[in-house]
Amino acid sequence: MTNKISAEKKILELRNTIEKHNYNYYVLSQPIIGDYDYDILLKELQELEEQNPEFNDPNSPTQRVGDDRNNEFTQVEHSTPMLSLGNTYNIEELSDFDDKTKRFFNDNADFKYSCELKYDGAAISITYINGVLQKAVTRGDGAIGDDVTNNIRTIKSIPLKLSGNYPEELTVRGEVFMNHKTFERLNNERIENEKSPFANPRNAASGTLKIQKSSIVAKRNLDCILYYLISDNLPSDSHNENLTLAKKWGINTPEHSVTASNIDEVYKFIKYWENNRDKLPYDIDGIVIKVDSINLQKRLGQTAKTPRWAISYKFKAERVTTKLLSVDFQVGRTGAITPVANLEAVQLAGTEVKRASLHNADIISELDIRINDTVFLEKGGEIIPKIIAVDKTKRPQNSEILKYITHCPACDTKLIRTEGEANHYCTNSLNCPPQIKGKIEHFCSRNAMNITIGEATIKALYESGLINNAADLFDLTKEQVFSLEGFKEKSSANLIESIEKSKDAEFSKVLFALGIRFVGKTVAKTLAKNLKTIENIKNATIENLAEIDEVGERIAQSVHNYFTDKKSILIIERLQNAGLNFEFIEDTSSKTNILDGKKIVISGKFEKLSRDELKNLIEVNGGINQSSVSKNTDFFLGGDKVGPSKIKKVKELNISIITENEFIKLLNLDL
């Protein structure tokens, strides 16, 4: 009993310490320990919780990794409606708002305005009871939203527990968003995995919140700023003062907010951020102006849709006009054709823009865009240049409709367009120069074989006839590379050394490097882990492949097509002869004796690991697999659809039941 009391005390101490560090890092941006020390604390807590499951708490810092259960979102009614703000794009209407507010109080009320940034993300409402996060709900239609509590728990800037003198019942509202660096990384990954990139960070944040598996949400690194408090017991009548106090409770409130004594000070705040918003690491699309007094807010009330005490001033998206000079049709490594507009150089949002993607034939048709047209250009999400319209009043009289190409611009193969897909494709994958070079670039990329070679070098090797596919890289000699213009003896030796070193890459990276359509990093890992060898993948039927989690019919068909192509098989055979790894090797370096001597029975259906994989993990970590439950059984590892008679026996014998997730945590597996 003494040991349990001591364990509980240590667990509580660690949780409090870690939450304080989360507050320092995510809210104050003033960390006082490094990442390594933080990870050590978190690992210690995780181990203690695993050893003492009776002290489990869904609001523990260790629970932010998310859950893979795939449940439909529950609809929840907001206790207070989430109203939309009235919008304005001009100072005159803002002045009208100020005049109306003054008239309402007959110029007798001495009030101030709170000015805040208008974050461009997804609205969220979070309820805390006695300082503990209870529920998180999206805006929905303003009256009813989706319960996304599990997803919100994964966002590290949102406290799971409050500290200090907070109200017993508190609702906080704000915006979930994605910063620019995270957005760029996510889109690069999506493009790499042949998925459509998100148009802007707002769409990415909103889409991520609606993902059913919170383990995926956790990997997206969403952020959140909370800017409105609802409670019967707020400490101050000042909205801004309440936000300041809320920061002390652990809530990530706005950093860039001010109190303005009059409308002129509001104008200054707007002007400053209109000129400096590009310096922020996230998107804003305007400024929110609120009457600061809570009592005056209540007196002003609301219409059916909007509060009368607040308004948003929205920045106009910076828009410029320029001339479309020509359109290039680029060929990607998968054969996808991307039309790119060549423009007269123009300054937009602080950068010079000469090119913009036109995406596909449908976009060109919708815009009715033609050569020498004057086009309107904006930056989508303040990041990506985008043609949004054509100024047809300036269109030359002799302009002709822009016809989409019918044949590949590189190899003249007739293009195809599969039903349901936006892009046209060149099917000449093994003889089309851009596809060949693109495939080799992909093969050498950091997330694949990680060969240190640039695009220009691949082009030179290809044009000199030294390489025509990825397998040719392993036949290169230092002398051949040295013969290329610009290469010296050392750089030639470095390239050959990098190619040789790449042979150590694990099977999943080699599989990803092959460039099979729709097979990104995650799918490559899944295939390698489930089917173990390249021979098993090659011989698998479409039905076998489609049954694997995260694969499905489209990917299965693509994998099957690749392995029934004789030229692809020939390349794989050459890569095998070169010494590349085409077999899944279980990493035993991190295994422990944590299950030493423990007798475990497995039963049921599992989500993340097969029963064979679970049995293997038990053995390599010192445990013993039992075929049936007995009084000597230490653990019952249960999945879904376990027979009731078996559960009854387990309970009669007082045997500990552990879930798949608890088992994974017990072994500190990174899945």
Catalytic residues: 118
- The SS3 of residue 278 is helix
How far is 563 from 624, CA to CA, in rounded Å? 39
- Compute the half-sphere exposure of residue 311: CA atoms within 13 Å on the CB side of its CA: 22
Phi then psi dihedrals of residue 539, to 5 deg: -90, -5
DSSP H helical ranges for 32-148: 35-51, 91-104
Is the distance from CB of 143 to CB of 13 less than 8 angstroms?
Answer: no
* In the block, residue with structure tokens 């009871």: 129
- Compute the half-sphere exposure of residue 407: CA atoms within 13 Å on the CB side of its CA: 5
| Of residues 435, 433, 472, the one with CA closest to residue 453 | 472
Burial 627-647 (b: 16+ CB within 10 A, else e): eebeeebbbbbbbeebeeebb
62 class by beta-carbon count within 10 Å (0-12 exposed, 13-18 middle, 19+ buried): buried
How far is 497 from 476, CA to CA, in rounded Å? 11
Residue type, 383: I
How far is 474 from 468, CA to CA, in rounded Å? 12
How far is 238 from 295, CA to CA, in rounded Å? 9
Residue 303's contacts (CB-CB under 8 Å, 6 or more residues apart) are none
Is the distance from CB of 475 to CB of 485 less than 8 angstroms?
Answer: no
DSSP per-residue letters across 43-63: HHHHHHHHH-GGG--TTSGGG
| Of residues 178, 192, 252, 191, the one with CA closest to residue 220 | 178
DSSP state of 574: H
The count of other CB atoms within 10 Å of the CB of residue 169 is 15
Residue 178's contacts (CB-CB under 8 Å, 6 or more residues apart) are 121, 186, 201, 204, 205, 208, 220, 221, 222, 223, 282
Sign, Cα dihedral of 59, 63, 69, 75: positive
Going through 164-307 in order, the beta strands assigned E by DSSP cover 169-177, 223-230, 258-260, 284-291
Cα 49 from chain centroid (whole Å): 28
DSSP state of 413: P
Burial 418-451 (b: 16+ CB within 10 A, else e): eeeeebbbbebbeebbbbbbbbbbbbbbeebbeb
The torsion defined by the Cα of 148, 154, 159 and 161, in degrees rounded to 10, comes to 80
- The SS3 of residue 600 is strand
* Residue 552 Rama label (left phi>0; alpha psi -120 to 50; beta): left
DSSP per-residue letters across 435-497: HHHHHHHHHHSTTTT-----HHHHHHHHHTTS-SSGGGGGG--HHHHHTSTT--HHHHHHHHH
Task: Catalogue the long-range contacts made by 464-469 (C-beta closer than 8 Å, 24 or more residues apart).
Answer: 467/440, 468/436, 469/430, 469/436, 469/439, 469/440, 469/571
DSSP per-residue letters across 634-662: -EEEE-BS--HHHHHHHHHTTPEEE-HHH
Is the distance from CB of 443 to CB of 436 less than 8 angstroms?
Answer: no
How far is 338 from 332, CA to CA, in rounded Å? 8
